[in-house]
Structure 1
Amino acid sequence: MPRLRHLLVCCLVVVAGCGTEGLPQADDPVDLDPAEFTADITNPWFPLEPGTRWTYRETTEDGETVDVDVIATSVTREIADGVTARVVRDTVTRDGDIIEDTLDWYAQDADGTVWYLGEDTAEFEDGELTTREGSFEAGVDGAQAGVIMPASPEVGMTYRQEFYEGEAEDNGEVLALGRRASVPAGEYDDLVKTADTTPLEPDVLEHKLYARDVGLVLTVDKKAGGREELLAVTHVSPAEARRAGEAPLGEAY
């Protein structure tokens, strides 16, 4: 989920549910009230029912392909800022070998907005760890939570998705509603279209399309020309849903 991976408001955003004007921007500090959050993610555009598995195929501009498996695990984690989050496993493989493995942490506020609270991520080459760059946890070393999906998306909404200075500074914007897309998993309409950018890589621009009760179905790299398409939505066993949230990064589960 955010593997991509403007407005500066000089105030403290106190979150007890977020509407259009309450979405965090840039490096705005937020004071999250854990009592206002749940690890049960029911936002229709970004549902995370434990045991759900999304399978994607990512194709680069050079024609190289990788496989992406995303599992909403049955595991939760209390983040440093006090919020209990759902752990989501995001594993990228090439020819069966893990090249990137991530545990993402999400929680939903009282209004239904889905927040991104950090990630534990690792990249591998020939089975060897090469970097942990991009890992962060809201409440640690100045890192701040961000929004991954507003409760009621509206065209023109902007929000930061994450903030850890110099490491993770992705931003999102709702570009359109009611869009359509065809991917291997099927035909989808009434989609929410967003744009993902980051000041750390000014030339990067990703458009993402989200389907109601499904989640992310298509990502298009507008600069480089790559695509990530949904192949299938399935479910794993309770045991696998737990292992996916507990297995060390880089290890099969």
Structure 2
Amino acid sequence: MRRYAVLAAVVVLAWSAAPGVARARPDGAPPPPPSPRCAPFPAAFDPARFPGTAVTNTWLPLTPGVRRVYQGTARDDSGHPQSHTIVSTVTSLTKTVAGVPTAVLLEQDVQAGELDEQELAFFAQDSDGNVWGLGEYPEDFEKGKFVGAPDTWIAGVDGAKAGVAMPAGPELGQTAYQQGDAPDIDFLDCARTLQTDQRLCLKTGCHDHVMIVDEWSPLDVASGHQRKYYSPNIGNIKVTAAGDPEGETLELASVDTLDARALATVNAQARAMDRNAYQTTTVYADTPPVS
């Protein structure tokens, strides 16, 4: 199951539900079995409804130059937990996808000291404040060497459709919605708001009014569910798993803003990946280069 970028850890939690909100276990209450397919988001995807590349959603702010570092573990094929670190940086680059100028994220997953995956992800916010995911270019590595990018998808290519990474006003009881649909690579991710107004304490501090989002793929039921914890005006601060054989956990370890030189370095890395994508996958062929 392909997941969106952490923007996709066993830690001490302090929970205090607000009045009228059910108290949840640390990994969230088990959701009811999902339907075979979740519904497209109620707001239709319309390129004319995207005013620019700024993403200011309270739950998923994407400010150019902001770098988030996540640390956690995931089980390998033998069932042994392996440490890994994800570095997620909002570049200052843009890429037009399906007629929409998008913000470009660069994420790198380092496992046991070696690069396991790096990914470009493309997001845009519509005029209502919904944040849409319009594609991903994930490069896979083995022992530090590039081996391909078979899970690339771009909205509007080969039947792939953009999905909502974060609604403008997520609420309990909303119908589960699609985060993206790319039939050529059997990618379909669903999401729904699981809990709201929670208190979550991590090693780096405590957060109030935390929202928990439940994500799953109805095409890969055996992969279980992923739970993402969002803090207002910060974004994703924690990831846990329920029924996932890999048992991936992540916790936000740091957030900082890169200086001009460091951001230029990240932009150069993203540009190099973008150039490589045209040589790696035909899915990318009709997209303009990042700028």
TM range (shorter): 0.7 to 0.9
Conserved 8 A contact 1:57-1:66: yes
Find out whether 1:99 has 2:78 as its counterpart: no
Letter in 2 for 1:140: V
Larger fraction in helix: 2
**Rg (Cα) greater in structure:** 2
The residue type equivalent to 1:133 in the other structure is P
| Equivalence for 2:289 | none
Number of equivalences: 234
Select 1:143's aligned residue among 146, 160, 177: 160
More divergent stretch after superposition (194-203 vs 56-65): 56-65
Runs of 4+ that moved beyond 4 A: 3-9
For each residue in 1:114-147, what CA deviation from the matched residue of structure 2 results, as whole angstroms up to 9, or x when unmatched? 0000011111012222231221111111110000
Q: TM-score w.r.t. structure 1 length? A: 0.84
What's 1:176 paired with? 195
TM-score (norm 2): 0.74
Q: 1:66 maps to which residue?
A: 84
* 1:222 paired residue number: 242
Gaps of 5+ in 2: 9-34, 277-291
Name the structure 2 match of 1:185. Answer: 204
Distance 1:242 1:104, change over 3 A: farther
Cα distance in 2 for residues equivalent to 1:37 and 1:133: 32
**Alpha-carbon spacing, 1:34–1:98, altered in 2? closer, same or farther (3 Å):** farther
Q: Which protein has the bigger strand share?
A: 1
Percent identity between matched residues is 27
TM-aligned CA distance change 1:67 to 1:31, over 3 Å: closer
Residue 26 of structure 2 corresponds to: none
Deviations, residues 219-241 of structure 1 (Å, cap 9, x unaligned): 11111443111101111123433
Taking the aligned partners of 1:133 and 1:185, their CA distance within structure 2 comes to 36
Look up the match of 1:109: 126
**RMSD (CA atoms):** 2.3
The one-letter code of the counterpart of 2:4 is P
Q: CA deviation at 1:242?
A: 4.0
2:232 counterpart (205, 212, 235): 212
**Residue 260 of structure 2 is aligned with which of 232, 238, 246?**
238
One of 113, 126, 144 as aligned partner of 1:127: 144
> Cα 1:102–1:112, aligned 2, differ >3 Å: closer, same or farther?
same
Gaps of at least 5 residues in structure 1 are: 14-20, 24-29
